[in-house]
Amino acid sequence: MTTLFVGLAATVVFVAFASGLVQVKQRALTPIDLMTGTGVPPLVGDPSSPGAFLSSIAAQSSARSSSNILGPRLAATPLQGAVIVVDAEPDRIAHVLNYTVECALDPVQSVNVSISSRSYTFQGAHGLAPQWQVRELDQDAQEMVSACIIARMTFWDEVGIPVSIRGNAPGLVPAGDEQLEFPVLEGAFWGNLFLQDPVAYTCSHKAALLNSYAHLRVCTTGVPVDYDGSTWSCGFVQSVGECNEHCDPYPTMAPTIYGTCLGNPHVITTYLANATKSP
């Protein structure tokens, strides 16, 4: 059994979706949710080996002021049966894991996780890394799952925006009327959230910027200037500008699905409903 020690503050969440369509039912995921802010990085130990715990606890002395809830130790831990010990309420890590497991596992998969003695069951959906149920994530899988999570992030935690996430994977194929209901290309997302210092990138589709703003998807469009001259930060998510300048689409896929962005082949493309369409 593997135990992860994570420092965090409390927040709550839960979402549901099918196929490539993400219908956010409650609070959305923000970049801040991934960072604990307590200075305690995720630590791994074996309950049967006290020495492992001593080594992990000693590592806290060199902890940074803000820590990644996901991080390399979680990527190295099979999800099924994981035990997570937190120094505060467990809701926030459940929030992050809910999104993460949905991206990683298949719809027929679920995992039971203990978070500070509370039992949680997380259900898969997109199946981008089903092997994580029983073994660690390799780098390719980390980046694919990360792209899915980043594509679902928003700036305002109380705002849940329905979004169609698409890519070259069975769990990212639009189903039913999804293409008709979400016809506006928004942009693309890629990165790796399982690093000690997570990296996340996005690009936008220039012709649809107003539509993205209307949906409050400011992480995609970059950091806009507010009316009073201040700026809105989207945490560690970096906008690189227009997708056409940094990404290559799959030549045989229509509508547009990006295959690589800045050389990274693990990319999620997003589509939104047309917010500017007249009723």
Q: Which domain holds residue 215?
A: 155-272
* Average pLDDT of every residue of the chain: 74
Please check whether residue 70 lies inside any domain of the structure. Answer: yes
The H-or-E segment that residue 51 falls in is: helix 50-58
Please check whether residue 277 lies inside any domain of the structure. Answer: no
Over the stretch 133-178, which tens digit does the pLDDT of each residue have? 999 999 999 999 999 999 998 876 656 678 999 998 988 988 889 9
Is 130 in the same domain as 160? Answer: no
Token reading at 216? 């409050």
Please check whether residue 117 lies inside any domain of the structure. Answer: yes
Please check whether residue 49 lies inside any domain of the structure. Answer: yes
Please check whether residue 54 lies inside any domain of the structure. Answer: yes
Cα distance between residue 257 and residue 166, in whole Å: 7
Is 76 in the same domain as 107? Answer: yes
Please check whether residue 242 lies inside any domain of the structure. Answer: yes
Query: What is the tally of structural domains in the chain?
Result: 2
DSSP secondary structure letters along 174-219:
--TTHHHHS-EEEEEEEEETTSSS-EEEEEE-GGGHHHHHHTT-HH
Domain end call among 146, 168, 196: 146
Is 205 in the same domain as 136? Answer: no
**Residue at token pair 């997109």:** 126
Cα distance between residue 149 and residue 272, in whole Å: 16
**pTM, two decimal places:** 0.77
Over the stretch 23-82, which tens digit does the pLDDT of each residue have? 434 467 777 777 754 333 333 333 333 333 223 322 332 333 357 788 888 899 888 877
Is 129 in the same domain as 170? Answer: no
Please check whether residue 279 lies inside any domain of the structure. Answer: no
Cα distance between residue 10 and residue 89, in whole Å: 5
| Amino acid present at 65 | S
Domain end call among 128, 146, 164: 146
Strand partners, 257: none
Is 7 in the same domain as 141? Answer: yes
Domain end call among 122, 146, 170: 146
